Amino acid sequence: MDLRKEIEKLAIWYIPVSIAMILATSAYSSYFRHIASGEGATVGSTIAFFAGIPALIQMADNIVVGIWLFFLARREGARPMLWLLFGLFAHLFAAVIYIALRLYEAQAFNKQPKPTP
């Protein structure tokens, strides 16, 4: 596993999603301020229509980390569903744990004994 490339793949997805999350949260809150001021549709119908969006916006970065861990774990023979769930709930902490475990395994199990002179 080329760890640098894998982390770069995560960053390529994580950074734009984080930026989009910030922009979407800002747009979402200003939309509701506009609705609350009395201009536009009723607040009740709008809230009913957009009820799940804030949770999805807040979990977007967790979803990216979970999917990244899923594919990484599947490629390396680990339990992908376990790492997907861990990534969804623990976010970047799960990615750090996964990377630390992989580095530990690489060091612990791939050490070759030094030949005796």
The distance from CA 23 to its chain's CA centroid, rounded to whole angstroms, is 17
Q: What's the predicted TM-score (pTM) here?
A: 0.73
Alpha-carbon Rg for the chain in angstroms = 21
**What are all long-range contacts of 97-102, with beta carbons under 8 Å and residues at least 24 apart?**
98/69, 98/72, 98/73, 99/3, 99/7, 102/1, 102/3, 102/76
Token readout for 80 is 């992908």
Written as tens digits, the pLDDT of the chain (117 aa) is 688 898 999 999 999 998 888 887 777 777 666 666 666 555 555 555 565 666 677 788 899 999 999 999 999 888 999 999 999 999 899 999 999 998 888 888 775 545 555
CA distance 22 to 33: 17
